[in-house]
C-alpha cells in the first residue's frame, strides 16, 4: 500500500471478512434413544455438546426439558431437539419448546424408523421448521433413506456407521444454522 493509498473502509472490504464463521458453537441436545446411542459420535462431531438423551423419551417432554436447560445456555447457543421416534406429541409441543428457547437457533431432527407415525411426525417437524425463522432441519430421514438395512440395527437404532452419519447430519445442520 502506498502512502497515498487509503485503507479500505469496512464497507469496501469483502463481505467474507465482515462475518466471523462459528466453528465450534455451544450446543445443547435433547433426544431419545437415537441420541443416546449416538452420543460418542455426537461428542466427536460437536466438541463440548451437552446431551440430554433418554431411551423411550416422548416429544411431549420437550418444553419442560428446554426450560430445564435454559439456565445453562447462553443467548447464542444452539438447541437441538431430536424427539419423534417414539410418536407421542405434536406441533404444539414443538411450538412450545421453540418458544421456550427464545431467539436461540433451534435445529429439529426428523426421524426415520419403521413405525406407523414416522411420516406424520416428519410432516409435523417440517411444519414447525417452516413456522419459525430461528428453526432449521437436520434431515436424518433423507440422509439415511435407502441405507436403513445397512446402518440401522433394528429398523430404528443406528449401528456404529449409522451413529457417525447421524452425528454428521446433526453437526452439519448446526453449522449451517449458525453460519
pLDDT digits (tens, 9 = 90+) for 159-171: 999 999 999 999 9
Report the percentage of the chain scoring pLDDT > 70: 87
- Determine contact, residues 52/65, Cβ cutoff 8 Å: yes
pLDDT tens digits for range 98-130: 999 999 999 999 999 888 999 999 999 999 999
- List, in order, residues 6 or more apart from 140 with CB less than 8 Å away: 34, 82, 109, 110, 111, 112, 166, 169, 170
Q: Which domains does the chain have, with CATH numbers?
A: 24-178 (3.40.50.1110)
- The pTM is what? 0.87
93, burial (CB in 10 Å: exposed 0-12, middle 13-18, buried 19+):
buried
Q: Give the side-chain half-sphere CA count within 13 A for 77.
A: 19
At residue 54, φ and ψ (nearest 5 deg) are: -150, 135
SS3 135: strand
Cα–Cα dist 88/77, whole Å: 27
**Higher confidence at residue 148 or residue 8?**
148
Amino acid at each position: 500500500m502506498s502512502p497515498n493509498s487509503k485503507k479500505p473502509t469496512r464497507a469496501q472490504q469483502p463481505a467474507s471478512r465482515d462475518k466471523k464463521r462459528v466453528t465450534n458453537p455451544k450446543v445443547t441436545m435433547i433426544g431419545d434413544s437415537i441420541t443416546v446411542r449416538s452420543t460418542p459420535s455426537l461428542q466427536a462431531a460437536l466438541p463440548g455438546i451437552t446431551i440430554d438423551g433418554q431411551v423411550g423419551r416422548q416429544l411431549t417432554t420437550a418444553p419442560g426439558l428446554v426450560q430445564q436447560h435454559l439456565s445453562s445456555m447462553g443467548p447464542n447457543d444452539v438447541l437441538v431437539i431430536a424427539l419423534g421416534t417414539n410418536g407421542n406429541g405434536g406441533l404444539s409441543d414443538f411450538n412450545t419448546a421453540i418458544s421456550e428457547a427464545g431467539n436461540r437457533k433451534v435445529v429439529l431432527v426428523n426421524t426415520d424408523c419403521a413405525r406407523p407415525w414416522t411420516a406424520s411426525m416428519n410432516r409435523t417437524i417440517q411444519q414447525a421448521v417452516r413456522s419459525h425463522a430461528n428453526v432449521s432441519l437436520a434431515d436424518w430421514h433423507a440422509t439415511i433413506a435407502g441405507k436403513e438395512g445397512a446402518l440401522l440395527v433394528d429398523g430404528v437404532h443406528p449401528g456404529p456407521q449409522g451413529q457417525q452419519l447421524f452425528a454428521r447430519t446433526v453437526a452439519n445442520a448446526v453449522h449451517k444454522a449458525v453460519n
